[in-house]
Structure 1
């Protein structure tokens, strides 16, 4: 094989790699992160809840989204992102994925949620719809998919905290040898994927009662505050080498290997917490009797 062919093959492979890592707007955890949280949830919810999930999934053809798979809970965890291809139909849901607040201002769980159009409010609404046995299965399945996805979203730090940069989407960041990604996408994709694939023990498993108590709990507002604090204390300082509130951050930076390694246990924990908290919310929705009243902020 000639030098030209070798170079051509190498360039094709590099282009494919960069395409896989290319930034996409306002996603959380990417497919791998969301699906992992869904798998953790399945492993930790009750058998009765798993049976109800399986039953509701049979209603997926009634939702009229043949281009977006919805045959499993893993599919459900990414279904709301797949809807972005049909903005004319589903555009009203796009603001439901986040509730960003500046990391250099006091956190307020009620801010940036006009008319309930934010991730915190939509988690609560989706659980209530899922629990309502008077509703058609297709309506409850849609709520299940939103619930599973949005609990994943609220655990991604840059869906709660930002620095005037659309949750890091406007910060150009090199990730290892891959140049010119953005801070949001790095936490969505390559960093989360590395955290999941390198975790020991594996994240998808049945957790003990003590592990569930340590990793779970809290209100929906608490989960958003946790993510906001991580954005302020870990994400921005790790990427820029200083606190974001000490002055304007540059638009471009590079994430060092040390910063990547330091962030991995944070991403691992958030994906795990999302899965365990999904399980609790789904179990509560399918349990007999009324849902517990939501904690007000």
Structure 2
């Protein structure tokens, strides 16, 4: 084997080991992973008005003013993952980390107000960043930052485990094998391999949706979307992985998403990603309109 062939072989081997390590090491995951968030952004982009797209495109010029060169925002897909990218700078951005979720115990009634102290939770931050984006008086860099948070958090709130919780940090402390792959956790499984399976199963999610489809899949407020995620977690996610209902300390620390469980979960994840994209498109159309409302719902 020549030197060039050896280098190619080693590069592929290292890449394979790195990819495998994502499954073999328990993860503290971020909702939907980059692929999921970018898919949601692309669904929205395919369904916004041309005038909305032009208005958003103008905001990208303010990217240098964000002071995040390692996390650029030159398009909506980059905006969708920017709030996760800046987690690499906790000194500057640590105060935003709790904005990605809200802890709603599945064994108690849903209460978005009680479980969102100081509005430091995902539903409140969708509302806040929508208002900032809609305010045309604000500097472009402030609105661009708000755009990124709005796009990302609309994705986050539709991930069931970013709302429902069984005293396990949204499934992060529950070890759940994904098929034959061992060593991940429930949250990571939903964020990454399950989301990727959902997105790539069936017809493309990134397309122009009909008015009837939008009427069926979109609508509601951030509080409604959080409740939906909580209900899915309570009624489906834990039972799908552990074969029992959550709450009252009955859940084991380890479970498995069998192939049957994955098959059952795919349409659930797929619908949440569709809903997130179409609801985001509506928010962007409203916020970027010349006379757009500055509050949601």
User: TM-score if structure 2 supplies the norm length?
Assistant: 0.93
Counterpart in the other structure of 1:148: 151
5+ residue gaps, structure 2, are: none
Q: Deviations over 1:16-66 (max 9, x none)?
A: 332233444241000000000000000001100000111101111110000
Q: Deviations over 1:209-246 (max 9, x none)?
A: 00000000011110000000010111100000111137
Across the aligned residues of Structure 1 and Structure 2, the Cα RMSD in angstroms comes to 1.9
Q: Is the contact made by 1:171 and 1:182 (CA closer than 8 Å) also made in structure 2?
A: yes
Q: Is the contact made by 2:27 and 2:185 (CA closer than 8 Å) also made in structure 1?
A: no
Residue among 159, 176, 196 paired with 2:162: 159
Counterpart in the other structure of 1:222: 224
Counterpart in the other structure of 2:96: 93
Query: What displacement does 1:11 show?
Result: 7.9
Query: What displacement does 1:77 show?
Result: 0.2
Quick check: 1:33 aligned with 2:7? no
Counterpart in the other structure of 1:52: 55
User: TM-score if structure 1 supplies the norm length?
Assistant: 0.93
Report how many aligned residue pairs link the two structures: 289
Give me the whole-angstrom Cα distance separating, in 2, the residues matched to 1:243 and 1:289.
47
1:13–1:280 CA distance, 2 compared to 1 (3 A):
closer
Q: How do 1:73-112 and structure 2 match up within 5 A?
A: 73-112=76-115
Counterpart in the other structure of 2:136: 133
Q: Is the contact made by 1:104 and 1:245 (CA closer than 8 Å) also made in structure 2?
A: yes
Counterpart in the other structure of 2:268: 266
Q: Deviations over 1:116-164 (max 9, x none)?
A: 1100110001010001111110000000000000000000000000100
Give me the whole-angstrom Cα distance separating, in 2, the residues matched to 1:84 and 1:121.
20
1:196–1:290 CA distance, 2 compared to 1 (3 A):
closer
